[in-house]
Amino acid sequence: MIIAEPIVVGDEHVAVNAGLLWAGVVAVGTAVTFSAEAEHHGRIVALLPSEVQARVRFGAIQPPPRHRRHAARFRDDFLAAWRLVHRAAGMGEQHLLLTCALPGTLVGAKLALATLPARRRPRVDAVVHSALEQAWGWRSRNPLRRALDMTSALSMTAPDGFRLVVLEAVIADALIAKLPRVAPHLRVVDFPIVETVAPPTPRRPGPPRVGFLGRANREKGFDRYCELADTVRARGAEVEFHVVGHAPVGSLNHEALRSLATRPAETPLERAEFLARVADLDLVVMLHDEAHYAHTASGVLLDAVATERPLVNLPNVMIDHLATRHGDIGHPCADLEGIADFLAALTVDDLDGERFRRWRANVGRVARSRHPTAVASGLA
């Protein structure tokens, strides 16, 4: 089996790819080849236990440059996927898992399979996660550009042996409702969590600590988070508002950060530091844009789960789905005012109460269900 990352380099998507690689090793029960850019490979392998590392062979590839004009990027991704499929066939491999796919990746993989004799075709699974949002977004009227977009790539007839993998069941349901023809070759694999970090005990003395996770941008609701901090602090509450994430230099209005106890870093945090800082929080606040994230598996949601931090959140279909399966994992609110009311009344005694203990227990169940060894059965 070959597991390949054809898109990203460096520290992007490290957690999810490490989880997929670990689950893949367990699922097949033998050694696998992980083809990726060298730094990306090194960061991922470092997150795996030694017994899993021993079953991973390194296959060096160099993903295409990220920032290109649309047509050039489609061509480069197409060729990268084409080569990976034909390389797998040439090596006699029976299974190729692509851990990330853009439109060119999907079309390249499908056409590469279609050009191979049936007896030589490997099975190809292509994982779509963050880029899947493009299928619900604006579409150009230009017929050429429409032919190269995500909706067209998903709708293109899939040859025998090709499967599309989505990382959350609610996203798969929405995709089938929008594009029914993908249903026959669509599979769901739960978004794996490669690390589970034990919550600190006892909690650090002081007022309740809530936090925003990930890149500090509008899509993840960072502007709303700053507004929330202003509102709660103006009511005299002692809740501390922290940021565990980053924002590019010059991208933020520093006056808007006045109510935050900690501010975004200028560069992404190392994984160990990121998780340690999340584990130091009492609650994670998720204010993601509902339209933008309704069809995108959220890595920071799973980071909160990995560290067993309960959530306070705006409407979110993925959080609702987890709560339906495992019980309440925090306090959902209809709007920002509801979150402000909840946080303004929050006390240290609440954090030791029955409600918070129940939330933490349920989050722990989610974390265990998403461990790679648990996800492996679905991947198999």
Query: Could you tell me which residues are beta bridge partners of residue 57?
Result: 33
DSSP single-letter state for residue 322: H
Q: So what's the pLDDT on residue 124?
A: 97
Q: So what's the pLDDT on residue 203?
A: 78
Q: So what's the pLDDT on residue 249?
A: 74
Binning pLDDT at 50, 70 and 90, where does residue 366 land? very high
- Spans of all domains in the chain: 2-193+371-379, 209-369
- Angstrom distance (rounded) from CA 119 to CA 109: 17
pLDDT of 293 over the 70 cut:
no
- Which of the two residues, 260 and 248, has the higher pLDDT score? 260
Same fold, 2-193+371-379 and 209-369: yes
pLDDT of 45 over the 70 cut:
yes
Q: So what's the pLDDT on residue 200?
A: 61
Please give the average per-residue pLDDT across 290-298, as a whole number: 71
pLDDT of 89 over the 90 cut:
yes
CATH superfamily of 209-369: Glycogen Phosphorylase B; (3.40.50.2000)
With a pLDDT cut of 90, the percent of the chain lying above it is 67
Q: CB under 8 Å to 55, separation ≥6 — which residues? A: 25, 30, 31, 32
pLDDT of 112 over the 70 cut:
yes
- Angstrom distance (rounded) from CA 346 to CA 342: 6
Q: What number does CATH give the domain 2-193+371-379?
A: 3.40.50.2000
pLDDT of 236 over the 80 cut:
yes
Mean pLDDT over the full length of the chain: 91
pLDDT of 137 over the 80 cut:
no
Q: So what's the pLDDT on residue 201?
A: 65
- Does the pTM surpass 0.85? The reply is yes
pLDDT of 250 over the 80 cut:
no
Go through 334-367 and write b for each residue having 16 or more CB atoms within 10 A of its CB, e for each that does not: eebeebbebbbebeeeebeeeebeebbebbbbbb
- Which of the two residues, 138 and 291, has the higher pLDDT score? 138
Q: So what's the pLDDT on residue 189?
A: 92
pLDDT of 199 over the 70 cut:
no
Binning pLDDT at 50, 70 and 90, where does residue 155 land? very high
Q: So what's the pLDDT on residue 292?
A: 64
Binning pLDDT at 50, 70 and 90, where does residue 66 land? confident
pLDDT of 317 over the 90 cut:
no
Q: So what's the pLDDT on residue 340?
A: 96
Please confirm whether the linkage preceding 202 is cis (ω < 30° from 0).
Answer: yes
pLDDT of 165 over the 90 cut:
yes
Judge contact between 298 and 278, C-beta under 8 A.
Answer: no
In terms of phi and psi (left: phi > 0; alpha: psi -120 to 50; beta: otherwise), the region of 236 is left
- Angstrom distance (rounded) from CA 256 to CA 226: 6
pLDDT of 103 over the 90 cut:
yes
Helix (H) / strand (E) element for 124: namely strand 123-128
pLDDT of 365 over the 70 cut:
yes
